[in-house]
Structure formats: structure tokens, C-alpha cells
């Protein structure tokens, strides 16, 4: 007895919906994960840019969800923050004012950062070294966006680098290493459960 096309469509429609719902939940959950990381913040007295786990969250999302879902999760995160939801670091003004403030350049490139980290990690064997390189390349994009925006605000590239780079290099290297470790461990865990 063969199944008709209508029977196949009736079975596949709920499966497609469940898959879509799972992907949407991953994207929303990832945006909330970054929001939680953003609330682990240490204000620094010599710069308007605080030290935060937010960048770590962005890297983890990009490396674990991949380029497309990582990009979408961070685009959603920006939309949530711009709408006034309390997802950005609590030392800022919140909403659109925070996107246009001193940390705005970093925030604006988050979707690209997550997308690039995911893209590089997806292109080959998913090792710690590949994840670390992906994170490092993504951090270059992050700092390029952040420093460029600070330079626009301060009218000084030197001031932008002082405020947005020097104080963060060591912490960012640690974040890249931890994000790479999380990505590889998550990948191994998912493979062992399959």
C-alpha cells in the first residue's frame, strides 16, 4: 500500500514546524545567553567601555550555532536591546542610546562577529585550533568596529585605541580560548549523543 502525496505532506508539515520551532528556540536562547553574559560587567574608571563577558557570549554563540544561526541570534539581540529590553550591559544608557554610545561600534558588529566565527569553524575539521583561529579572526572584526566607532565619537584614533583596545587584549585572549574550548566540547558532546 503506497502513501498518497497528501499523506506525506500531512506527516512532513508537523516535522518541518517542529524543526523550525527548535531552530527559533536556539536563536532566541542564544540571544538571551549573550544578555546574561552582558550583565557580568566590570566598569573601568579610565574608559567608557566596560569589561564584560558579552564578547565571550558572542563567540560561543557563533562557534556553537554556526554562521547563520549565530548571525540571526545576535541580530535579534541587537533588536531586543534597541527596543529597550534590558539585554545590554547595565552600565550603559540602554536602548538605542547604548547602540549609539561608546560601546555602539562593538554592539553593531556582533552579528558579523558571530557569523564569521561560525563560518570559519564550519569550514573543516572542528578542532580547538580552528575554533581559536575563528575566535581570533572574529575578535579582529569586533575591535575594528568598536575602535572605528570610538574614533568617530572622539575624533581621535589614538583616543579610540586607548579607550577600546589596550585594556582589553589580555581578557579577550582568555575569552577566545574559553569560547574555543566550549565549542569543541559542545561538538564532542553532541557527536557522542548522536
Rounded Cα distance, 101 and 184, in Å: 34
Q: What φ, ψ does residue 42 adopt, rounded to 5°?
A: -120, 110
**HSE of 172 in the Cβ direction (CA atoms, 13 Å)?**
19
Contact of 95 with 81, CB cutoff 8 Å: yes
Of the pLDDT bands very low, low, confident and very high (cuts 50, 70, 90), residue 1 is very low
Could you give the 3-state DSSP secondary structure of residue 80? helix
Assign a CATH topology to domain 5-193: Arp2/3 complex 21 kDa subunit ARPC3 (1.10.1760)
Buried b (16+ CB within 10 A) or exposed e, 21-35: eeeeebbeebbbbbb
pLDDT score for 93: 87
Predicted confidence (pLDDT) per residue in 97-133, tens digit: 999 999 999 999 999 999 999 999 999 899 999 999 9
Residue 8: pLDDT over 70: no
What pTM was computed for the model? 0.89
Average pLDDT (70-79) is 98
Residue 90: pLDDT over 70: yes
Contact of 69 with 23, CB cutoff 8 Å: yes
Residue 10: pLDDT over 80: no
pLDDT, mean over the chain: 91
**Across-strand partners of 42?**
51
Predicted confidence (pLDDT) per residue in 155-194, tens digit: 999 999 999 998 899 999 999 999 999 999 988 777 666 5
What are the residue ranges of helices labelled H in the chain?
5-38, 54-65, 67-82, 95-99, 104-108, 110-122, 128-154, 157-164, 169-193
pLDDT score for 182: 96
Amino acid at each position: 500500500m503506497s502513501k498518497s502525496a497528501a499523506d506525506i505532506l500531512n506527516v512532513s508539515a508537523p516535522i518541518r514546524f517542529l524543526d523550525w520551532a527548535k531552530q527559533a528556540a536556539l536563536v532566541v536562547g542564544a540571544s538571551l545567553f549573550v544578555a546574561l553574559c552582558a550583565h557580568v560587567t566590570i566598569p573601568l574608571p579610565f574608559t567608557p567601555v566596560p569589561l564584560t563577558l558579552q564578547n565571550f557570549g558572542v563567540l560561543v554563540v557563533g562557534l556553537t550555532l554556526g554562521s547563520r544561526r549565530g548571525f540571526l541570534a545576535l541580530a535579534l539581540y541587537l533588536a531586543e536591546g534597541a527596543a529597550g529590553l534590558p539585554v545590554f550591559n547595565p552600565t550603559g544608557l540602554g536602548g538605542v542610546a547604548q547602540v549609539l554610545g561608546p560601546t555602539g561600534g562593538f554592539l553593531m558588529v556582533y552579528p558579523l562577529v558571530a557569523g564569521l566565527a561560525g563560518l570559519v569553524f564550519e569550514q573543516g575539521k572542528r578542532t580547538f585550533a580552528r575554533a581559536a583561529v575563528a575566535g581570533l579572526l572574529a575578535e579582529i572584526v569586533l575591535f575594528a568596529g568598536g575602535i572605528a566607532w570610538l574614533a568617530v565619537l572622539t575624533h581621535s584614533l589614538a583616543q579610540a585605541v586607548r579607550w577600546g583596545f589596550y585594556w582589553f587584549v589580555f581578557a579577550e585572549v582568555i575569552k577566545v580560548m574559553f569560547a574555543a574550548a566550549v565549542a569543541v566540547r559542545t561538538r564532542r558532546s553532541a557527536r557522542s549523543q548522536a
